[in-house]
Chain A
Amino acid sequence: MICSTNATKYFDSLCAVDHVSAEIQTGSVFGLIGSNGAGKSTFLRMLAGILKPDEGSITIDDEEIFENVPLKNRCFYISDEQFFFSGITPLDLQKHYSLYYPQFNKERYKHLMNAFELDEKRKISTFSKGMKKQVSVIMGLCSGAEYLFCDETFDGLDPVARQAVKSLFAQDIAERGITPIIASHNLRELEDICDHIGLLHRGGILFSRDLDDMKLGIHKVQIIWDKTFPETSLSGLDIMHKDRRGSLYTLTVRGTREEVQNIISQTQPTFFEMLPLSLEEIFISETEVIGYDIKSLLL
């Protein structure tokens, strides 16, 4: 289990990660989402043992990750801006990683290189952005690491490759019990694969929850009343977001499905429908509550 306790990171006077506490269960797929500059990459770099927290601690299985070589042997970091040595080929890179990761699975590497139709003897510098990402993912999956730290890994992958990577992750989770921690802006991607979500905003963590629980706890409802908006009757409802188009109200509310249904039914709406809430909508709603309003950005 990865445990972040009040992890804090300052870049000069800027607090990039502000007392973040979260737990990531082994075997889960943890999605790290957040607004721009929220500190996702910094948090991920701390989890991977690249950065040392200025305050607090990051532990994996109760051991500090920073400068812990045996522990880092179980981790693999895929950067959003990957570095490859000048003139290196995937084969060279595989040999390079094999020196650091003794458990590196060369057969699987060969298999995946063929599956992704990547030439292992071609210089990586000639690869496209997506192909470079594929190489990094292959290295990560074949390294034998139990914890994969992926920073915007799906960015640049074509839909087929994206799906393939997701499948590979799922396969490794099932077979080896790996724990991918994926930081991304693309919430739709995370929604498909993650079972746990951490939402970072301006350096601090807003929440870290099971995705299903989160979805069950937030609902989008569309309602039409033949009268005015029944504010008093809905006072028991935790409305996170309200939008009106003509007589149609769209509300994002917090609470169990039953609670929400009961309260709204009592107002005797002409039309009432509960819609599934996407991760993106949850993100917008949650960040809007603490003042990160998409509308203010658009105006």
Chain B
Amino acid sequence: MTSNRSFFNLQRELIRRNIILPVLSGVGFFFVLPLLTLMMIQSKLNYYLLRYTEIETEKFINEFVRDNLLSTRYDGVKVGIIIMATLAGIMLFRYLHNRKQVDFFHSLPISRGNLFIQLYLTGFLSVIPLYIIMYLLAIICAFAMGAGSLLTAGLIFKTIIINILFFLLFYSLAVLATILTGNTFVAIVIYALLNSVIFLTTTIISELFSYWFDTYVYISILDNIGLYSFPLYLYFYGSNMFNTIGDVKYLSTQTFIGIVIAIIVLIILSYVLFKIRKSERAGSSLAFYKTKAPLKCYLVLIAGYLLMFMFSSIAGASWRYVGIVFGIILSHMVLEALYNFDIHSLFKNWKTMIALLIVGVGFFTIMKADIIGYDSKLPNKENITGVSINTYYNGSKHFSSNISNFDFLTSTENIENVYNLAEYAVKNLDNVNYNQDDFYLDENTTSLLVKYTLKNGNEMIRRYLVPISDEFDSYLEAIILTDDYKQHEFNSVFSLDLDSTESIEVYINRSIYNDNITGVVTDTKESFEIIEAIKEESLTLTKEQAENTVPLLNIDFEVEYKRDYNYIAHGTSYGNYIDSVPVYPTYTKTLALISKYYDFTPQSITVDDISRIDITKYPDDTELLQSETSDSNYYTVAITDKETIAKLIENSIPHDIAICASPLLKLDETPLTDISVVFNSQNSTPIYYLEGTAPLELINQLI
């Protein structure tokens, strides 16, 4: 069996003996490729021609064929590839599960290694050539119907390569699962497990961490490992990345290489296991007995924790242990029955079951007690190179302001400030009010997310629930006005990458009339000038100005980046949208540019602009207890008298202006009262007052 001729003759013979595979491939891919291509194009033609011109229809159809039907995005082919890969892998190697067939194949004068190669190639050659033929037929059909003009050789090549790659991935997994087992049902179970084992493990680890540690934050790297090790996810959601030229080259190459390596590892592993697999294991559940115990332990513990998640999500935290115990016992029984193919073996190895119960429950309990000090752990301050936070600052506003940054804060001052915040949060970890199960945020509590980058390149992330206090606010106040924070805060003009901008629009909002967009600057040069000016002037805002000055207007920036810009680092869109950037009276350069490029002068609200003012009074706690129906909970007084309106709008600040202002802006409290201005256009906006300027006496009289 060494000559090439013999090799190919045997290959042909094996394909003939497994003729069902090429037949199924041919029929299946014929249906999902040429036939469905014709049908879908016809269907789209019928639809578009009724609504669009012939030229538009042609464009749409060609785009549809390029972007969906004959690209890597077409799910029909993906389903076909997965089904055929699974079928081929299991069908060709399932002889290992039958003693008669094992005796037949293993008595033949062919080495196991050679037999493996022959069988593996048989699966590949029974499916892939037919897929390629049908795909090429589908392309011919698309061209014949005038829908293939956008198909390029590169796209066709990529589509074929990616589908072959994923076929090999699923096929190798199916082959490995079949070799590892001695029974086809168990092989299917193991195949499903092999597909999802890393994803399942990382998800459960992540979930367990969130159960164990109050400060745990889902680690994206853990999720990524899970998802990128999950072939189904990669195929259906990841392979699209291969189709786009430019933007995602970096990711696609990495993923591609990763999949190729995974396939090679799987093939080598299967080859080695196939060679050492004992023939007599046909009919047993697992072919390698040494894998039985570790696999059982893994599956039983996973099942225990899965049921814990389920039970606690349905019935609450007190059912956690019931879930673990139930999951471990049930899965142990099922596995024993499966291992022995005997329902009477449910309680076999009950001592192992008890040991696993102790491990499962004990491990969970120990970790829940946080013996490793995960929650209270703070990094060594000397090792921190950058910090990031996400929390809310209440100050004296009626609403809390999100304090977060898009990029790490690196100044020593801010590292110190954020570290102080984290220490404050750790100090309050034992506060029973904030770290109980099922605790929800209330008005005295806020969340604090802290992320550190360390000198060794690692990242550390924690999320705390912290009591709002003067101490907490003081740490935030120390951060908010630093240049470092202003340059890196979320929704900052500093996050705009002007070098990569394709187009930009600057929306100047007067806001006071709540008719929002009143001017748009679309010229890139002019927009850049405004951005540079606002960048420069925003760094000059002092604490006193931030606390006592009201912005005159706010600006939105909508940017579209160049197509070859690597947007991955900045999110998942091709653009960036920065909204409600405040323009203070001190930003003279910015205001001059706005006046220059868009003739606009900020104005105050006048009585003539207003139709009426609504003052809504909410009941206090005592009144709430006394009231019987919700209807009587609040009432609104409409003010139409011009003189009263004039008094009410004096020193008032419209909502859109207040909300874009610095979080430090000091506003007056109007307890249990909302004041809303209704303009002549019937648009309305809530209004607030600078600290010490609210006409409280008048308001009290009116309500």
Interface residues of A (CB under 8 A from B): 9, 11-12, 45, 48-52, 67, 69-70, 72-73, 75-77, 79, 81-83, 85, 88, 95-96, 99-102, 149
Contact of B1 among A45, A49, A81, A100 (CB under 8 A): A100
Q: In chain B, residues 239-295, which have Cβ atoms closer than 8 Å to a Cβ of chain A?
A: 278-280, 289
Q: How far is the CA of A149 from the CA of B10 in the complex (A)?
A: 24
Interface residues of B (CB under 8 A from A): 1, 6, 9-10, 13, 17, 98-104, 106-112, 114, 278-280, 289
For residue A72, which residues in chain B have a CB less than 8 angstroms away from its CB? 107-110
Further 10 A-B residue pairs, CB within 8 A, beyond A72-B110, A95-B13: A50-B107, A50-B279, A73-B109, A75-B107, A76-B107, A79-B100, A79-B104, A96-B17, A101-B109, A102-B6
**Which residue of chain A has the shortest Cβ distance to B284 in the bound complex?**
A12
Contact of A69 among B109, B278, B279 (CB under 8 A): B109
For residue B108, which residues in chain A have a CB less than 8 angstroms away from its CB? 72, 100
Contact of A83 among B101, B111, B114 (CB under 8 A): B101
Are A67 and B112 interface neighbours, CB within 8 A? yes
How near does chain A come to B180, taking the closest CB pair, in angstroms? 17
For residue B278, which residues in chain A have a CB less than 8 angstroms away from its CB? 51-52
Are B17 and A69 interface neighbours, CB within 8 A? no
Q: How far is the CA of A70 from the CA of B104 in the complex (A)?
A: 17
A49-B107 in contact given A69-B1, A81-B99 (Cβ < 8 Å) = yes
Q: How far is the CA of A52 from the CA of B99 in the complex (A)?
A: 15
Contact of A99 among B9, B107, B280 (CB under 8 A): B9
For residue A79, which residues in chain B have a CB less than 8 angstroms away from its CB? 100, 103-104, 107
A-B interface, 6 closest residue pairs, ranked by CB to CB distance from nearest: A77-B107, A72-B109, A73-B109, A83-B100, A83-B104, A50-B106
For residue A50, which residues in chain B have a CB less than 8 angstroms away from its CB? 102-103, 106-107, 279
Most chain A CB atoms below 10 A, which of B10, B109, B280: B109
How near does chain B come to A50, taking the closest CB pair, in angstroms? 4
How near does chain B come to A47, taking the closest CB pair, in angstroms? 10
Q: How far is the CA of A9 from the CA of B281 in the complex (A)?
A: 13
A45-B103 in contact given A51-B279, A52-B278, A96-B13 (Cβ < 8 Å) = yes
Are A67 and B9 interface neighbours, CB within 8 A? no
Q: How far is the CA of A9 from the CA of B98 in the complex (A)?
A: 19
How near does chain B come to A138, taking the closest CB pair, in angstroms? 16
**Which residue of chain B has the shortest Cβ distance to A70 in the bound complex?**
B109
Contact of A100 among B101, B102, B109 (CB under 8 A): B109
Are A83 and B112 interface neighbours, CB within 8 A? no
Q: How far is the CA of A213 from the CA of B73 in the complex (A)?
A: 78
Q: How far is the CA of A49 from the CA of B100 in the complex (A)?
A: 15
Q: How far is the CA of A175 from the CA of B684 in the complex (A)?
A: 111
Q: How far is the CA of A69 from the CA of B108 in the complex (A)?
A: 8
**Which residue of chain A has the shortest Cβ distance to B103 in the bound complex?**
A79
Are A77 and B109 interface neighbours, CB within 8 A? no
How near does chain B come to A91, taking the closest CB pair, in angstroms? 13
For residue A101, which residues in chain B have a CB less than 8 angstroms away from its CB? 109
Q: How far is the CA of A76 from the CA of B109 in the complex (A)?
A: 9
Are B100 and A48 interface neighbours, CB within 8 A? no
For residue A100, which residues in chain B have a CB less than 8 angstroms away from its CB? 1, 10, 108-110
**Which residue of chain A has the shortest Cβ distance to B99 in the bound complex?**
A81
Q: How far is the CA of A75 from the CA of B6 in the complex (A)?
A: 19
How near does chain B come to A101, taking the closest CB pair, in angstroms? 7
**Which residue of chain B has the shortest Cβ distance to A49 in the bound complex?**
B107
Q: How far is the CA of A4 from the CA of B106 in the complex (A)?
A: 19
For residue B289, which residues in chain A have a CB less than 8 angstroms away from its CB? 12
What are some 21 contacts across the A-B interface (CB < 8 A)? A45-B103, A45-B279, A48-B107, A49-B107, A51-B278, A67-B111, A67-B112, A70-B109, A72-B109, A73-B109, A76-B107, A77-B103, A77-B107, A79-B100, A79-B103, A79-B104, A83-B100, A85-B17, A100-B108, A100-B109, A100-B110
How near does chain B come to A203, taking the closest CB pair, in angstroms? 14
How near does chain A come to B91, taking the closest CB pair, in angstroms? 11
Q: How far is the CA of A50 from the CA of B9 in the complex (A)?
A: 24
How near does chain A come to B147, taking the closest CB pair, in angstroms? 42
Q: How far is the CA of A83 from the CA of B102 in the complex (A)?
A: 9
For residue B112, which residues in chain A have a CB less than 8 angstroms away from its CB? 67
Are A69 and B104 interface neighbours, CB within 8 A? no
A99-B103 in contact given A50-B279, A51-B279, A72-B109 (Cβ < 8 Å) = no
